[in-house]
Chain A
Amino acid sequence: MRFHDHEVAGDILALATRYRDAGADELVFYDITASPEGRTVACEWVRRVARVLDIPFCVAGGIRSVADAEEVLNAGAEKISINTPALAKPQLINDLSRRFGSQCVVVGIDSQRTADGYRVWQFTGDTRRAGDAGRESLAWAREVQDRGAGEIVVNCMAADGVREGYDVEHLAAVRAVCQVPLIASGGAGAIRHFAAVFTQAGVDGALAASVFHSGAIAIADLKRQLKAAGIPMRLTETTA
């Protein structure tokens, strides 16, 4: 669920509840403008979401310090996800993991296919500043684990928003070096894309936004079909 901070909390709550009822296993709230503009997420909406949601949720964007993370976790989020701030100060991953436990600490990696292989991209919420972070994606995936990341979300930039499928090959390569839960992001456009990323890349979860927001894929249909394909899925009253 990506949103900009001017969206009112009521919309976020309605969406959150809708996805929960539809059978989503976890929600991720991205404040994608937070990092480039140097703002932190406001905790009031986190608290309001925590009051209504009974599934785990993760907050991403604008978390630059242990104090920022503590506010978000105390407000009721299950996990915090850091991306650009981890690139600027990798030690933040160690600090967060030591303070809250690695299970709270998700590191997001925006991975871009380039002529030099897969490279980590930073400031991806801002087209003017987005660019190569000076790191190779697989090496960064290894490093963030060594520093204490408890989960890695790999967003394949070339695939993101195109709806032609997850970058299964790249995700399988990350899987090979990733001992913590791995979440695929970017490229989902059809139910078969989800099936492919689970069976061929061995990811633990698949994240998508636009296909759910637009209604192109209903979560209930998706989970039923994945389960029928032999992929373990939690079916709820609405999805069973």
Chain B
Amino acid sequence: MSEAVIVDSGGANLASLQYALERLGARAHVSHDPATLASAPRVILPGVGAAADAMQRLTRHGLTELLPTLTQPVLGICLGMQLLFDASEEGPADCLGVLSGDVQRIANAPGRPVPHMGWNQLTPLRADPLLEGIMAGDYAYYVHSYAAPVGPATLASVEYGGALSAAVRRGNFWGTQFHPERSAGTGARLLGNFLRL
């Protein structure tokens, strides 16, 4: 049985991620213990809320040093993906620095409400085991007001007043801006792929 440990980043809504992993037959539990996370076969960094608060919570548990040094597959989801970058405009906050670049606020515009909340289509930019079986035009569920521009780490983009990073990777660190646990079949496929990494 595959196993993943979810970083207790303190926000509400860790339950839906845990249930999604359980639906895929994986064992999932939540922890902020550095030793548990260091020895986990896979680590998922979720996050709902503000970047500065989330970084403070990680710091409190001594995780800001640990997380960038992990060598097993790590998946950041939504704010968790944003925390992998150098910094975020939200706060502003210094983040984990695993991926280079800054996370920026999505600009408001008529017909383009912020937060970007709802289903939007993926455009894979390069092949990756995490995106196995996921096609251009597949829909995923997004809830965010900040985003990473498309850069060298981008695996897939999403169009919302310009192309934004929808999925990223550098080495053993992956991230999705969308919520795979709320993205129906597409999300389940992605989480299944992650559990096989």
Contacts and interface: CB of A to CB of B under 8 A. Distances in A.
Interface of A: 20, 25, 47, 50-52, 54-56, 70, 73-78, 100-104, 150-151, 178-182, 202, 204-205, 234, 236-237
Contacts of A179: 108, 113-114
Contact of B113 (A52, A75, A101, A180): A180
Interface in B95-121: 108, 111, 113-115, 117-119
A74 B22 CA distance: 17
B115 A150 contact: yes
Given A47-B15, A78-B16, A181-B118, 7 more contacts: A51-B22, A78-B143, A103-B144, A150-B117, A202-B111, A205-B118, A236-B184
Interface residues on B, range: 20 to 34
Contacts of A182: 113
Given A101-B49, A104-B48, A179-B108, A76 B115 contact: no
A205 B187 CA distance: 21
B65 to A, nearest CB: 26
A76 B19 contact: yes
B115 A25 contact: no
Contacts of B114: 179-180
Given A25-B118, A205-B118, A50 B113 contact: no
B145 A103 contact: yes
Interface string B134-145: 000001010111
B13 A74 contact: yes
Given A73-B13, A103-B144, A54 B118 contact: no
Interface of B: 11-16, 19-20, 22-23, 48-50, 108, 111, 113-115, 117-119, 139, 141, 143-145, 179, 181-185, 187-188
Nearest to A21: B184
Nearest to A56: B182
Nearest to B140: A234
B141 A74 contact: no
B50 A101 contact: yes
A73 B12 contact: yes
B16 A76 contact: yes
A113 B187 CA distance: 42
11 contacts: A51-B19, A54-B187, A54-B188, A78-B16, A103-B115, A103-B117, A104-B12, A204-B117, A204-B118, A205-B118, A236-B184
Contacts of B187: 54
Contacts of B183: 54-55
Top 9 nearest A-B pairs (CB, nearest first) are A73-B12, A76-B15, A234-B139, A103-B143, A76-B16, A234-B119, A103-B115, A56-B182, A51-B19
Contacts of B139: 234
A173 B145 CA distance: 25
B48 A100 contact: yes
B182 to A, nearest CB: 5
B19 A181 contact: no
Nearest to A176: B110
A50 B19 contact: yes
Nearest to B49: A101
